[in-house]
With several copies, the nearest count.
Chain A
């Protein structure tokens, strides 16, 4: 198991220069996530328009490279997509990280695919899975409009 599998260039890049790391002005839904064990925090802001499209999405937070890169990558990939598609992507992502499954979506572009796949190394680092999934769980809570803080402990 090479550590470089985990810390791929794409991840380091997203970790250092996260995309969409701000509070997007037009958000109409948001949710917070927290990983109490390591202190990773993420706050997802999104605009879900009338056609159930993710017109905008952004995040704020702090945490390890994996959690920040994962949030950054997520916002980049699902921004502008239909919620239903985004939800599929989320499921695909979780299956990849937790069970090592291949991505099943075929509507993603090659770049999107490569970017998502850059996080696949996490599955071999069980303690880091929660870091990678935090933003993705929180995104779903935001859409649900739930007020509870996503806690990866539970």
Chain B
């Protein structure tokens, strides 16, 4: 893949950071946006803007059609059975809160168990914590092994007759471990336990096929998929959306309203209260087109190449310790450097235009377990090249020079 060509499609790379060329290695946090996405939003506001679905005039018709086209594109992208299974949310966090809140409210009772893993992002723990508090439920944490993975056997061990949901990440945003989702779904479906997958690090980087994965819920953040901020997606099997109660209430999600009672339409309408992120959803259609133009297989191949090159190169530096050694790894390299706090690393790298993340990456449980307060993380996107890795590697050497000389 010609990364020069790809990079040229992202306006951000035309800028300098601290006088240096930008080496963006923070895509797991949020990805940059191609010009087509940025321009689509501008064009929409400049030529087509109107609120969606509520007015009869021509602008509203256009806006509604453009908006709903994104739902169709997304249905195809994740291979959902029907467009009604795609619900627009604010971000993946809201998607998971929606499920935890509605499913938890209806199906989780005192003493019931919620099974998550030590790898989970706070987005896939805090919402369940609320249900734990509200319902007196129990959260069980499947242990992460020394490779930074969660074994299917570990999950099997923890499933009981009280398990009401299994909520796991698709790919760890710290160790990069790709979870055995299909196996988990197989296991769970024997006991009729629904499975929620936090797909934040999955959807932008690997092929995501709902019919193949078989999970009940899949949460996505569009801003990590080269899309606008402010949009997330919840994929949910229709059977769930049909029986779960509504989440937020307001305009657009009602059927009949009177003073004593309110009835609701079907999904996805029931879950889309108020004015949605019209322009952002329309803009996101260009992100999906962009990914599909490059081809998810090409993306996977390219990122794997850069990942392996990066792991190799970084490992050579003796003072660097890479976190986790999963058999299947997504496009993430978290690491520590002996004697240097990750924040200091990030600051020094930034001087060379290298943007990485330092912190617990919203995974305090995992960091506690590893005995770390924080780590440094380089994460890849479609636009990264081997040259980026070389610059990263040199910047890491500089850290050592400043601190360990």
- Residues of chain A whose beta carbon lies under 8 Å from any beta carbon of chain B: 1-4, 6-7, 12, 16, 34, 36-41, 62-66, 125-128, 131, 149, 151, 153-154
Contact = CB atoms under 8 A, between A and B. Distances in A.
A118 B348 CA distance: 17
Interface residues of B, number: 33
Contacts of B18: 1
Most chain B CB within a 10 A radius of its CB, from A34, A38, A40, A41: A38
Contact of A65 (B254, B373, B403): B403
A2 B54 CA distance: 23
Given A151-B265, A153-B265, A64 B255 contact: no
B259 to A, nearest CB: 17
A66 B269 contact: no
Contacts of A39: 359-360, 364, 367, 373-374
Nearest to A68: B341
Do most interface residues of chain A lie in helix, strand or loop, or is the interface mixed? mixed
Contact of B254 (A1, A36, A62, A125): A36
29 contacts: A1-B18, A2-B351, A3-B348, A3-B351, A7-B348, A7-B403, A12-B402, A36-B256, A37-B359, A38-B56, A38-B343, A39-B359, A39-B364, A39-B373, A40-B373, A41-B373, A63-B341, A63-B373, A64-B343, A64-B344, A65-B341, A126-B65, A127-B61, A128-B56, A149-B255, A151-B265, A153-B255, A153-B265, A154-B84
B405 to A, nearest CB: 9
Most chain A CB within a 10 A radius of its CB, from B340, B344, B351, B364: B344
B276 to A, nearest CB: 14
Given A128-B56, A128-B343, A128-B347, A62 B373 contact: yes
Most chain B CB within a 10 A radius of its CB, from A7, A37, A128, A154: A37
Contact of B347 (A3, A63, A153, A154): A3
B265 A154 contact: yes
B287 to A, nearest CB: 25
Contact of B256 (A1, A34, A38, A128): A34
A37 B351 contact: no
A41 B256 CA distance: 11
A64 B341 contact: yes
A148 to B, nearest CB: 10
Contacts of A40: 343, 373
B245 interface: no
B360 to A, nearest CB: 5
A127 B344 contact: no
Contact of A66 (B84, B342, B344, B364): B344
Contacts of A12: 402-403
Contacts of B214: none
A65 B399 CA distance: 12
Nearest to B349: A3
A6 to B, nearest CB: 7
Nearest to B84: A154
B326 interface: no
